[in-house]
Homo-oligomer: A and B are copies of this chain.
């Protein structure tokens, strides 16, 4: 009988190694050899588990977004604006290294890549995230927790973009933890005040 390997686990280990290398050196500067070395395998072995460097990359992106979507999916609807804000805070309060990984996605975006499967993938994710937020916002609007002057879908999608911007900047620009936390606090505060229904009239 041949050596028995847990294929799924092996794939995962390779992806982990690949992510590390990509984050470290950037996608285009990372060769398949680099990934192999990081995974402690021979170059050829990678090709047993993945058809190509691109396939490997797709798998990374898939996995990453599957995780994220899992996080979205679950969860009771928030009953108060404050609970919603806490959720948003938690979403943005990710470790720096996770945020760093975002830059790999960007390297992989755009027409350099054979397929624009990535873009679609990520675009869909953010649309889904937007829809998710829209649901929560609508619900809170019914409960009078959020101003019903706001157009829930547009607001929600914009919210997703803004949050992505904040997280992205942390990952890209080495903003330190302390400073980042301050930024987060302000952001959430503004979101709160911005969403909350107000008695007086607004433009």
Contact = CB atoms under 8 A, between A and B. Distances in A.
Contacts of A151: 182, 185-186
A149 B193 CA distance: 11
A154 interface: yes
A182 to B, nearest CB: 4
A24 B158 contact: no
A168 B169 contact: no
Contacts of A5: none
A198 interface: yes
A111 B24 contact: yes
Interface in A1-53: 2, 24-29, 42, 44
Interface stretch (A59-67, A71-79, A99-107): A99-107
Interface of A: 2, 24-29, 42, 44, 82, 103-104, 106-107, 109-113, 119, 122-123, 126, 147, 149-151, 154-155, 157-158, 160-166, 168-169, 172-174, 179, 182-187, 189-196, 198, 202-203
Top-9 shortest CB links A-B: A165-B165, A26-B112, A194-B194, A106-B106, A190-B194, A162-B162, A123-B173, A161-B169, A29-B112
